[in-house]
Amino acid sequence: MPPQNTSVGSRPTQRKVPMQVLALGYSRTGTLSLKIALETLGYVRTNHGFAVAFASPATMDMWIEAIKAKFHGEGIPYGRAEWDRLLGDCQAVSDVPHILFVEELIAAYPDAKVILTNRNVESWWKSYETTVAQARKPSFQVRLVSWLDPEHDGKREFLFQLIFKAMFNTEQLTVTEEKAKACFTAHYDEVRRLTSKDRLLEF
């Protein structure tokens, strides 16, 4: 598909393919399976949290910049031009850190469909707590690897710490079951509130 010749103000959008799907369900609700399904259907590059984890340092810097702007008041919040610069080669997104920017992405890409993968909150917490939450807990191994390779492993660890804290509105790298479930529920309520019914697929 040829690049889109669009612009925001006087700036080119740097979008190579149209953004068509925003998959905004929480991690551990089938986000990776959905990425695979979308790419099987022909959506060019679905950006998932795993891709972000192994992105270039420059790309991770942009995600860090976006999170700091929204959640810490540092810098200018991302708009359409910035999202196009970061996600211009993607036709779909799934998982973190995209789900931190529900309102921004829905507004930036009004023609994109929204998919909300859901799960019983009790089942979700059991899965999340034994996988992602465990991986976020500080360890000597993580600190050592981050120190040995600050430009890649260190930056990745810092980014995913920021993601975890933003997801659960905490300054810690741990979260209680009660707070995690409340954040999960609030996220789904926000997506439903911001998305028209004819644009939203929830399953």
Residue 78 lies in a domain: yes
Distances (CA, A) of 80 to 12, 15, 16, 87: 10, 10, 14, 10
Residue 89 lies in a domain: yes
CATH code for position 64: 3.40.50.300
Structure tokens at 32: 């990776």
Tens digit of each residue's pLDDT (9 = 90 or more) over 43-74 = 989 999 999 999 999 999 999 999 999 999 99
Structure tokens at 94: 């799934």
Please list the helix, strand and coil fractions of the chain in percent, rounded to the nearest 5, in that order.
55, 10, 35
Task: Domain of residue 165: give its range.
Answer: 7-202
Q: How many domains does the chain have?
A: 1
| pTM of the complete model | 0.89
Residue 2 lies in a domain: no
Tens digit of each residue's pLDDT (9 = 90 or more) over 126-159 = 999 998 877 767 666 777 776 677 788 889 999 9
Question: Which residues neighbour 87 within 8 Å (Cβ) at sequence distance 6 or greater?
Answer: 19, 47, 93
Residue 102 lies in a domain: yes
Residue 63 lies in a domain: yes
- More confidently predicted of 13 and 104: 104
